Structure 1
Amino acid sequence: MINTKKVIKQSMYETVMNQFNNTADIIDLNPNIRKILGITNNEIIVHFPVKMDNGNVEVFTGYRVQHNNALGPYKGGLRYHDTVDIDAAKALAMWMTWKTSLAGLPFGGAKGGIKIDPRKFSDSELERITRRFTYALGENIGPEHDIPAPDVNTNPQTMAWIVDTFMSTISSSERSHNQHVVTGKPVGTGGLEGRDRATGFGVYLSIKLLLETRNQTLKDKKFIVQGFGNVGYWASHFLTQDGAKLIAVQDAHASLYNAKGIDTEALVQHCEPRKGSIQGFDGATEMNADEFFGLDCDIVIPAALGNQITAENAFKIKATVVAEGANGPTDKEGEQMLLENGVTIIPDIFCNSGGVIGSYFEWLQNRNGELWQLDEVMAKIQKKLTENFHKIHAEVNKRDVDWRTAAFILAISRVETAYKQRGIFP
């Protein structure tokens, strides 16, 4: 039955607060701790001028929201996108708190970025924007305080500019101890082998582990991916290597379909000179964007932006698994529809946590002056993700709840325990 009801889209912040409050009710969260976790610790907004290539000065707005640091330094990405605002940053920062907690890492949660469409600027302008943003943030970031990482439309080069700017603003005696102010750096600048593929690998592994609980494999499973950036590409890379078939891809510019399968490596090569756009790829045909989520497939991977699966399209989904490669891609009404239709949602705070787990190992590598090889790194990430998967699976069975609820219970309970043991200052 087609749903023709007109719905008002829920913001990402409303979505994460609904998830938090539902979980707090289930676990009877201490009311005082609930007050603390229901708000952010700090919300930083900076306006900064940058000279453009043509000599004109533009003023940009940047954000950094620090939700909670009970478990350790704030941790979370910086995104460059025109949807960035304070509410989006607050939602994403809270999700990061739950993500790092669920992963068992010694980090809290933060998020931020600049309200900008990076496609409209040259590389030299993006470098100046990034460096000026870093300078404006000042002491609000630091290797033991708040550690940014790449996110939507940012990459290892962005992180290299940040670390260089940050280290240029501190004394020379401290510079060797501050390389881990960001993670996701280029390998030659202290980055971690495998950090580039860690998030996508986690998406792949979470699907593989879920299917194993059903005595299934990835062989001949059909999947579709929304967003073909770093996460979408690497998830597709590992899935197709393991026998699955990518039949459709969607980004902001086009929706592509090929029933026989899309060549992942050919598509990424097509995207490189086109600033990531999949449009014009000759290995698939363009389709109507509104029909994308309704394709006949086994697995849907939303790996773009938040609030993509809603009441307006969730009823179309025929897949049995939705693996959330993006943060907050499914809103409350969309999730309710999926669950009612028997779809298993692998929640974002687990599904895409390979990235922050990789970031933790990069942070440790820099902090301890070590260097790890790619096979060591991937083995560490796989071990951590597999352990976390089985903990969530056990909670699902124990409480007879969906996967997101189980993940949130584990994540919030760990932060609650920290507050109970430490107490509230003074």
Structure 2
Amino acid sequence: MTLTKDLKKKEQPKQKQGMLSNVMEQFEVAANMVGLNPNIKKILAVTNNELIIHFPVRMDNGDVEIFKGYRVQHNNALGPYKGGLRYHPTIDIDSVKALAMWMTWKTSLAGLPYGGAKGGIQIDPSKYSNTELERITRRFAYALGENIGPEHDIPAPDVNTNAQTMAWIADTYMSTKAPSERSKNQHVVTGKPVGSGGLEGRDRATGFGVFLTIKYWAENKNIPLKDKKFIVQGFGNVGYWAAHFLEKEGAKMVAVQDAFGAIQNTEGLSVEDLFKYTLNNNGSILDFPGSSSVKKEDFFTLDCDICIPAALGSQITKNNAHKIKASLIAEGANGPTTVEAEKILLEKGVTIIPDILCNSGGVIGSYFEWLQNRNGEIWELEEVLAKIDKKIKDAFKRVLAKSEDKKIDFRSAAYFIAIERIEKAYIQRGIFP
């Protein structure tokens, strides 16, 4: 039984499938596969807390704008809530609920002492100045108040947020505490700048994890990565670092897509040269020397061995899945593949490394930053990458073993392991009262 094959028994919705319906279908089938206790299934099928905040911020011109922010806490059976904050105009309560649920499975699969949460602000950050974004971020952090905390709910960077965003949140949160307590609350967020309590290597942790899962898949198949062609959707933090490490292994990046468009070169695009180019081109990859443009709708149809969707959710759908030529899809983004698309891909024999395994390097890195802050330690880059590697390797081995033992696909195996761990915690502790 697999998460996708079992869905053939259900009539698929005619409307475009959103992330929430996607994750709920995955959970439903996984719960049945595991034989999840019905009472625990009821708990995990809903979120613990959902917070919607409307807050005012004064703009540079003196006008006041009202913003909508979210924080959804799905489950904390294994430990404090953990999950990123994204700034994007498409954010709504359903997408945040889906992302929070995925975080629960991700932290459980990685063996971390965390639950799952997610949040953000419904905003296009490109339309605001840096000083306005600082005020928006600080006001949002203040409005969240005690709904976040270093032992309760620990945000991190996500789409359109970064180390600077986390520094503003940490400073705002700590300023609400008594002077003697401020230093004890530095780990209220992770992904901070290194000079402000951040972790060496946290910037590349997610992309490094994507690379590692590809590497371990290739090693298991006895496939050399040298000269393998890969395409990357999203050339931000995740996509860039995944491509960076793959290129070091001798693989060739032949196409990239970002919010501005898509480019290709069948002979290969230099990862480092393209990254430097984007820094001087307002973040855009377009018109990179030696490349040709590609239509957005044709990106996933390009000839390659490995496809890395590292942008937003629901990018690989039933409309383009049958055209994909890659033999491996490594999900750098959260929920980039719809259930309908995955069914098509698995029938074609395509391997999918699921998001909750593939991009877990970020939350694993966050865990080590959290520990570093709690223990008053400072770790060097090589030590951090080695720690992430060890966690990713362990999770990959467990997913591979479960996949082979149960004769199921990787996503099914990952969900099986994640849900079983949470179920065990509930069974051992009982349900209050």
Residue from 355, 379, 387 that aligns with 1:348: 355
**Structure 1 residue aligned with 2:3:** none
1:238 pairs with 2:245: yes
The structure-2 alpha-carbon separation of the partners of 1:80 and 1:275, relative to structure 1 and needing over 3 Å to count, comes to farther
Counterparts of 2:135 and 2:166, CA distance in 1: 13
- Aligned residues of 1:163 and 1:182 also touching (Cα < 8 A): yes
Residue from 155, 161, 167 that aligns with 1:160: 167
AA at the equivalent of 2:166 = M
**SS at 1:64 equivalent:** strand
CA RMSD of aligned residues (A): 1.1
**SS at 1:178 equivalent:** helix
Report the TM-score, using the length of structure 2 for normalisation: 0.96
**Structure 2 residue aligned with 1:200:** 207
AA at the equivalent of 1:137 = L
AA at the equivalent of 1:226 = Q
Equivalent runs, 1:101-140 vs 2, <5 Å: 101-140=108-147
Counterparts of 1:143 and 1:283, CA distance in 2: 47
**Structure 1 residue aligned with 2:191:** 184
Equivalent runs, 1:9-408 vs 2, <5 Å: 9-408=16-415
What do the CA deviations read for 1:237-272 (whole angstroms, capped 9, x no partner)? 000010100000001211000111111111111212
AA at the equivalent of 2:325 = K
- Aligned residues of 1:236 and 1:264 also touching (Cα < 8 A): yes
Counterparts of 2:204 and 2:192, CA distance in 1: 13
**SS at 2:289 equivalent:** coil
Identity %: 68
The structure-2 alpha-carbon separation of the partners of 1:275 and 1:42, relative to structure 1 and needing over 3 Å to count, comes to farther
AA at the equivalent of 2:339 = K
**Structure 1 residue aligned with 2:425:** 418
Counterparts of 1:255 and 1:391, CA distance in 2: 36
**SS at 2:103 equivalent:** helix
AA at the equivalent of 1:234 = W
Greater CA drift, 59-68 or 282-291: 282-291
Counterparts of 1:425 and 1:389, CA distance in 2: 34
Give the drift of 1:273: 3.7
Counterparts of 1:232 and 1:376, CA distance in 2: 23
Counterparts of 1:317 and 1:290, CA distance in 2: 12
- Aligned residues of 1:7 and 1:311 also touching (Cα < 8 A): no
Give the drift of 1:275: 4.1
**SS at 1:26 equivalent:** helix
**Structure 1 residue aligned with 2:5:** none
- Aligned residues of 1:298 and 1:319 also touching (Cα < 8 A): yes
**SS at 1:388 equivalent:** helix
AA at the equivalent of 2:394 = E
- Aligned residues of 1:94 and 1:110 also touching (Cα < 8 A): yes
Counterparts of 2:362 and 2:159, CA distance in 1: 13
What do the CA deviations read for 1:270-312 (whole angstroms, capped 9, x no partner)? 2124442222322311111111101110000000000000001
AA at the equivalent of 1:97 = T
Q: After TM superposition, what 4+ stretches of structure 1 lie above 3 angstroms from structure 2? A: none
**SS at 2:26 equivalent:** helix
Unaligned stretches of 5+ residues in structure 2: 1-12
Counterparts of 1:283 and 1:99, CA distance in 2: 39
